[in-house]
Amino acid sequence: MRLLTGKPGWSTSADVVVIGSGVAGLTTALNLRSHGLSVLLVTKARIDEGSTKWAQGGIAAALGPGDTPDQHKKDTLIAGAGLCDSKAVDVLVSEGPEAVRKLIAQGAVFDKSETGEIALTREGGHLRDRILHAGGDATGAEVSRALLTAVKSDKGIEIIEHALAIDALKSKTGRVCGVLLHVIGAGSRDGVGSALARAVVVATGGLGQVYSQTTNPAVSTGDGVALALRAGAKVADVEFIQFHPTVLWRDLANRGQQPLISEAVRGEGAILLNHKNEQFMVGKHPQADLAPRDVVSKEIFNQMQQSGQPFVWLDATRVKDFQSRFPTIYASCKANGIDPLKEKIPVAPASHYASGGVKVDLNGQSSVAGLYICGESACTGAHGANRLASNSLLEGLVFGTRIAAALAKQLPAQEEPVYESKTTLLDPKIVLPLQISMSEGAGVMRSESSLRKTLQTLNELSKLTSTEPQIESWEASNLHLLATAIVQSALIRKESRGSHWRSDYPQSSDSWLSRITTEIDESGNWKSDLEPIQ
């Protein structure tokens, strides 16, 4: 099954096609080059679009005095609530420090303390100060700048912007051998075309736009995960959508990307207050306001239910040098009429991160030959049921390096694509009702009845098909596929764990210490399995 498109009108090729230009795609591309492979880097909007440039808090790595990968591992496992893959976490925390040093060598500049050492801060779930940051709260922008500078200066990486990857191309052996693209370009590469390669790396980021309010930018429509599902790959842990606890509350009328108030603001002393001015996280968890993010989001949700108000307060007036430490957040508060130096900030949870994604091994290989996945689109198992703060940029650096090394060792010859004739496409009109239904029924708290209601809405929306291939329809179809996968997995998991909170099954149960995997067979039927945690 593939999305409906026009006929491919042009073709190009490289050793490897990398889809996406965030930390994961850029790191993979640079490392492929260091192994001498030619790279075609395609990205759906401008090259600097994506979640990476919005990252605030920083990158977690055991670089501080006395810190060790083992301590980082412990915090990651606790946040992951029993569902982390221990080997994937080992890789992340032990290869993380070297990956960060390499990033620094590539030109990324991190903030320093008064003594000239790299300044480290703390975020939810970390028992140590271990988060490197840049420009105060503009870490992602600096990571993106440094990697983009390196990528743009490498003549062996061809970049195509405004190039939306629609579907994987497979050979008659079933191996992925390229990708169908839609390019808004000039000259010969305009419209639908095919990019052939000996392997394809999907690094298309998250799927926050499945929900009404998200910290994710507009490009985060989960295209790569949907592409992989249609290509026959397994996804895993997709029910674990992480809701960031402190997103600036503006109004329900504000949909799409909302301004984030980094967890690092609490790391530097800000506190959460309810409408009775009580510091409600105290006594709820030993780390209080700096408990793992699922714990804080749940408690904020409880407070909102109790008060009937759609937000709680974040008091940052006590944070030292707020304006210089958090310049981006200061500016976005001011732009929304709030002075964080003098006033409390209204905050509420919003969809932030997909802890699951396309199931991959430790070298980013999906269950389909030739198809590799990196970054937020992947489920390496390192995040389990709830990603630890600032482990995502790190994951892109570490696994991008590993994927390139694995491909350099074994890259088969180019195969010829066979064009699949069965197509599907949904009308862009479905997006708004889909997002509202997902936020209402599959949000911070879910239940059998809320999920069933959302599934029913999704079934109704699937009847609104389209015959007009265009960006909005491809994105709408992808959002619908992912929303369905999330709701189905959330229905299967009859317990509460990490960021999956079921009001009808409020406890965790050892009988659920398994990963839910989902795939779509060639006739379009969904199939889910339980895989015990390693």
**Three-state SS across 275-300?**
CCCCCCCCCCCCCHHHCCHHHHHHHH
Residue whose CB is less far from ligand FAD, 42 or 347: 42
Considering only residues 100 to 129 of the shown chain, the ones binding ligand FAD according to CB under 6 A are: none
CA 307 to chain centre: 31
- Which listed residue (264, 362, 403, 434) binds ligand SIN by CB under 6 A? 264
- Picking from 321, 403, 319, the residue whose alpha carbon sits closest to that of residue 360 is 403
* CB 271, CB 224: distance < 8 Å: no
- Which is nearest to 214 in space by CA: 486, 494, 436, 472? 436
Query: Which alpha helices (DSSP H) does 65-173 contain, by range?
Result: 69-79, 86-105, 139-152
Among ligand FAD, ligand SIN, none, the one that 92 touches (CB under a kind-dependent 5 to 8 A) is none
Which residue, 258 or 390, has its beta carbon nearer to ligand SIN? 390
44 belongs to the binding site for ligand FAD (CB under 6 A): yes
C-beta of 276: minimal distance to ligand SIN in Å?
26
Q: Which of the choices ligand FAD, ligand SIN, none does residue 22 contact, using the CB cut-off of 5 to 8 A by kind?
A: ligand FAD
Please say whether the beta carbons of 36 and 153 come within 8 A.
no
Residue 132 lies near ligand FAD (rule: CB under 6 A): no
Contact 121, 131 (CB under 8 A): yes
The yes or no reply on residue 390 touching ligand SIN (CB under 6 A) is yes
Distance CA 282, CA 336 (A): 29
Which one of 10, 45, 469, 495 is in contact with ligand FAD (CB under 6 A)?
45
Q: Which does 99 bind (CB under 5 to 8 A by kind): ligand FAD, ligand SIN, none?
A: none
Q: Which stretch binds ligand SIN (CB under 6 A): 178-186, 262-270, 378-386, 520-528?
A: 262-270
Q: Based on CB atoms, which residue is closest to ligand FAD, 24 or 177?
A: 24
Q: Considering the complex, what minimum distance in angstroms separates the CB of residue 509 from ligand FAD?
A: 29
Q: How far apart are CA 132 and CA 134, in angstroms?
A: 7
Task: Look up residue 80 and give its two tokens.
Answer: 């992951």
Among 159, 223, 203, 160, smallest CA distance to 404 is for 203
Q: Which is nearer to ligand SIN, 160 or 260 (CB)?
A: 260
Return the one option of ligand SIN, ligand FAD, none that residue 437 interacts with (CB less than 5 to 8 A, by type): none
Cα–Cα distance, 183 to 409 (Å, whole number)? 31
What residues contact 407, with CB distance under 8 A and at least 6 apart? 16, 32, 35, 37, 199, 201, 372
Is-contact 131 57, C-beta < 8 A? yes
Q: What is the 3-state secondary structure of 351-384?
A: EEEECCEEECCCCCECCCCCEEECHHHEECCCCC
Contact 385, 125 (CB under 8 A): no
Gyration radius of the chain's alpha carbons: 22
Query: x/- site string to ligand FAD, residues 206 to 245, per CB under 6 A?
Result: x--------xx--xx--xx---------------------
Interface with ligand FAD (CB under 6 A), residue from 8, 12, 18, 22: 22
| Catalytic, out of 198, 230, 266, 293 | 293
What are the φ and ψ backbone dihedral angles of 10, each rounded to 5 degrees? -155, 165
Q: Please pick, from the candidates 99, 378, 389, 491, the single residue that binds ligand SIN as defined by CB under 6 A.
A: 389
Give which of 266, 26, 65 is closest to 143, Cα–Cα. Answer: 26
Least distance to ligand SIN, CB of residue 298, Å: 17
Contact 96, 104 (CB under 8 A): no
Comparison of 129 and 190: residue with beta carbon closer to ligand SIN:
129
Report the distance separating Cα 212 and Cα 239, nearest Å.
17
- Cα–Cα distance between 296 and 292 in angstroms, integer? 7
Residues 23-82 binding ligand SIN (CB under 6 A) are: 56-57
263 interacts with, out of ligand FAD, ligand SIN, none, CB within 5 to 8 A per kind: ligand SIN
Is 214 one of the binding residues for ligand SIN (CB under 6 A)? no
Binding of residue 204 to ligand SIN (CB under 6 A): no
In the complex with ligand SIN, which residue's Cβ is closer, 264 or 455? 264
Question: How big is the CA angle at 289 (ends 287 and 295), to the nearest 5 degrees?
Answer: 80
- For position 392 contacting ligand SIN by CB under 6 A, the verdict is yes
- Site string (53-82) toward ligand FAD, x via CB under 6 A: -xxxxxx-----------------------
Helix-helix angle 23-34:139-152, to 10 degrees: 30
Q: Please report whether residue 375 would count as binding ligand FAD according to CB under 6 A.
A: yes
What number of chain residues touch ligand FAD (CB under 6 A)?
46
Residue from 37, 41, 42, 207 binding ligand FAD (CB under 6 A) = 42
Residue 122 annotated as catalytic: no
Q: Where along the sequence are the contacts to ligand SIN (CB under 6 A)? A: 56-57, 262-264, 353, 389-390, 392
What is the set of active-site residues?
293
Q: Where along the sequence are the contacts to ligand FAD (CB under 6 A)? A: 19-25, 42-45, 49-52, 54-59, 139-140, 163-165, 203-206, 215-216, 219-220, 223-224, 260, 353, 375-377, 390-393, 396
